[in-house]
Amino acid sequence: MPCTKSCAERLDNKGIARIVGGTVTLPPDPLRTDILREDNVAVALAPGVGLGLARRGDRWAIATPDPAGVLAELQETVGPRWVWWGRADSERIAEADIPVDRCWDVQTVHRLLHGTWKAPLGEVWARLKSVPLDTLPQMGQLGLLDMPADEGDREKPVRPDGHLRPEWISGGYQETPERLATWAGLALEAMEIQQPMLEERDSPVRALSTARSESAADLLCAEMTLSGLPIDEPEALRLISKSAGTRPTSHAHEDEIRAQRDELVFAQLEPRWEVNLRNPAEVKSMLRRQGFELPDTRAWRLEELRESEPLIDALLTWRKAERIATTYGYTWLDQHVSESRLRGDWLSCDGAAGRMTASAGLHNLPAMMRPLVAADDGHLFVRADLGQIEPRVLAAVSGDPGFIDATQQDDLYQPVAQRLGVERGIAKLAVLGAMYGSTTGESAGALAGLTKNYPVAMGLLDKAAESGKRTEDIFTTGGRRVRMWSEQSADGDLDRAVSVAAARGRYARNALIQGAAAEYFKVWAITVRRRGRALNAEVVLCLHDELLVHVSEDRADEAAAMVTEAVNEAAHYWSPQPAVRFVADVSIVKRWSEAK
């Protein structure tokens, strides 16, 4: 047995082993590599304590100060599909830099099944075991009038009422190797309940595949959270100072800099006066007094007047500077940048349609700040952006033959335009409008042409919209539940009810496609992660449909080719329609801002 070493003693005949002298022997029969390689093995580990393993009816408790080292050895020699509870486990895997590709994350799969963002372990277990959520126990002292519950044997993780013990959830499972083995066994039990639930989806095989890819994507998120995004700190300081001024030395100094920034707008007013530029209503009133009668002060509306109106130009310039100063200024830099890395928490699901999301501005860094994202010395970025991903996904999930044909072109909108007999721009607006529920404007006439020429694709969107209007949850092609909401109209307000239903319909038709696109993107991202390991290439950013891969200069060309090839490999695994063509714009850059 490759993972067996000398100097070990068996504690009993139930498959429990303990480290002696830094070495471990695991029972040979239950851990035969030919079985485990295709099997699900649950794991729980605690640094300095050990790790627990569970497979089918077997449990192993291994006492060792270096559980990650033992797990790395098992990964290298056995490589099963690892099962764990959630982010705490994936963070330990990421910290140990163990190259796990096949895994099952119970919390992540819970989000997939139930369409939620939060997945506390107590609630996850209660839902799996059909235990009432209103009796979830909480850590803390009893109130004076509370009756103590029958908590049974505290050495067991499950209370007599069926709930997980909060003290185990909060870390009690890490106290001994035996507890770790028990905790791993519960994770395996949770997985074995989740699998049949996924098999009830319309496409069971796809739903199970999505559970696995989403779990691997969450492990990637743990790795990106740990490693951070490479940042040029001097450039960051230069960009911040350019917009926000010098670093404030006191609150009074900060107020002075803010006043100087405001003055650039006030100077354009005739007559000059001061207004609260941070209050949209006052800004709208200010513009009206200057002769600009506008329904709102949205940036896109003001941009139309920018070139000819100095006040509008000054206001838009102020807004960008204010955003940098308040959101991406010196405080942001101090809080989130260390050791030339921008560090934020990555999550594999936003709780809506399942897109990746991140904190610390990683997902909405303004374009003017992108020059600060720079590869380390001797390294480059491979930047890749999926092209026209949502309409290509629509073709894949609908199976519309005409739409599938259109995906064979680099520019999908061109053949659609020819078929509809309209300009390309109109065709693009019509396709996007169909997916986002926009039926007005100059593309409205082309929507009828879409329904006539692409009835399968448009029918799928219309069906989703109708389900949303009825407050029925929808499901992506990968089996993710996307929850709809209901709203009681005040005093029977029929107009309000119609408006809310229409909003649900628009959300449902877009979530159906956006959710599927997120699933494909994550398959692509984890494929790049897996294949990039041989090149020491690291995924450092996942932004909507865009990847940044950090790689040494001498391997950049290889990495770019690999990322391109991974587009097709991901499509092979994910796409319901093999004939759909997916494309990506791939470039090699030193700074993120250099990407076109």
Alpha carbon 54 to chain centroid distance? 29
Same domain (yes/no): 181, 253: no
Contacts of 32 (CB under 8 A, 6+ apart): 1
**Is residue 439 one of the residues assigned to a domain?**
yes
What's the token pair of residue 82?
A: 């690892």
- The pTM score is 0.89
Contact (CB, 8 A) for 477 and 397 = yes
Same domain (yes/no): 358, 477: no
Residue 271 belongs to a domain with what CATH number? 1.20.1060
**Is residue 430 one of the residues assigned to a domain?**
yes
Give yes or no for residue 481 having a pLDDT over 70: yes
Give yes or no for residue 152 having a pLDDT over 80: no
**Is residue 222 one of the residues assigned to a domain?**
no
Instruction: With cut-offs at 50, 70 and 90, classify the pLDDT of residue 487.
Output: confident
Tokens 């609630």 map to which residue? 123
Residue 584 belongs to a domain with what CATH number? 3.30.70.370
Residue 432 belongs to a domain with what CATH number? 1.10.150.20
Return the pLDDT at 53: 94
Return the pLDDT at 37: 55
**Is residue 209 one of the residues assigned to a domain?**
no
Can you tell me whether residue 178 is helix, strand or coil? helix
- φ, ψ for residue 352, nearest 5 deg: -105, -100
**Is residue 474 one of the residues assigned to a domain?**
yes
Over residues 469-490, the mean pLDDT reads 88
Sign of CA pseudo-dihedral 206, 207, 208, 210: positive
Beta bridge partners of 481: 475
Task: Decide which of 159, 183, 200 is a domain's last residue.
Answer: 200
Instruction: With cut-offs at 50, 70 and 90, classify the pLDDT of residue 596.
Output: confident
Same domain (yes/no): 429, 369: no
Same domain (yes/no): 504, 527: no
Report how far residue 126's alpha carbon sits from residue 162's, in angstroms, rounded to the nearest whole number. 8
Among 93, 94, 26, which Cα is nearest to 64's? Answer: 26
**Is residue 425 one of the residues assigned to a domain?**
yes
Percent of the chain with pLDDT over 70: 90
Q: Which domain covers residue 323, as residue numbers?
A: 233-334
- φ, ψ for residue 197, nearest 5 deg: -65, -40
Same domain (yes/no): 37, 54: yes
Beta strands in 190-242 (DSSP E): 229-230
Alpha carbon 117 to chain centroid distance? 10
Pairing of strands 341-342, 337-338: antiparallel
Same domain (yes/no): 305, 347: no
Helical (H) or strand (E) element with 83: strand 81-84
Over residues 205-221, the mean pLDDT reads 97
Instruction: With cut-offs at 50, 70 and 90, classify the pLDDT of residue 146.
Output: very low
Same domain (yes/no): 510, 377: no
Alpha carbon 153 to chain centroid distance? 39
What's the token pair of residue 583?
A: 């494309």
Task: Name the least confident of 15-29, 423-437, 467-481.
Answer: 15-29
**Is residue 211 one of the residues assigned to a domain?**
no
Instruction: With cut-offs at 50, 70 and 90, classify the pLDDT of residue 151.
Output: low
Alpha helices of 377-423 — where are they, by DSSP H? 389-398, 401-406, 413-420
Return the pLDDT at 140: 57
Same domain (yes/no): 180, 42: yes
Same domain (yes/no): 171, 293: no
Per the prediction, the chain carries an average pLDDT of 89
**Is residue 347 one of the residues assigned to a domain?**
yes
Same domain (yes/no): 257, 122: no
- φ, ψ for residue 42, nearest 5 deg: -85, 150
Model confidence pLDDT, tens digit, residues 332-365: 999 999 999 999 999 999 878 899 999 999 988 9
Return the pLDDT at 439: 67
Same domain (yes/no): 405, 471: yes
What's the token pair of residue 303?
A: 């941009």
Over residues 526-544, the mean pLDDT reads 96
Same domain (yes/no): 399, 453: yes
Helical (H) or strand (E) element with 568: helix 556-574
Task: Decide which of 200, 215, 243 is a domain's last residue.
Answer: 200
- φ, ψ for residue 283, nearest 5 deg: -65, -40
What's the token pair of residue 152?
A: 């049974």
Can you tell me whether residue 377 is helix, strand or coil? coil
Count of domains in the chain? Answer: 4
Task: Decide which of 489, 516, 543 is a domain's last residue.
Answer: 516
Query: Which amino acid type is present at position 246?
Result: T
105-108: list long-range contacts, CB under 8 Å, 24+ apart.
105/214, 105/215, 105/218, 105/219, 106/187, 106/190, 106/191, 106/194, 108/211, 108/214, 108/215, 108/217, 108/218, 108/348, 108/349
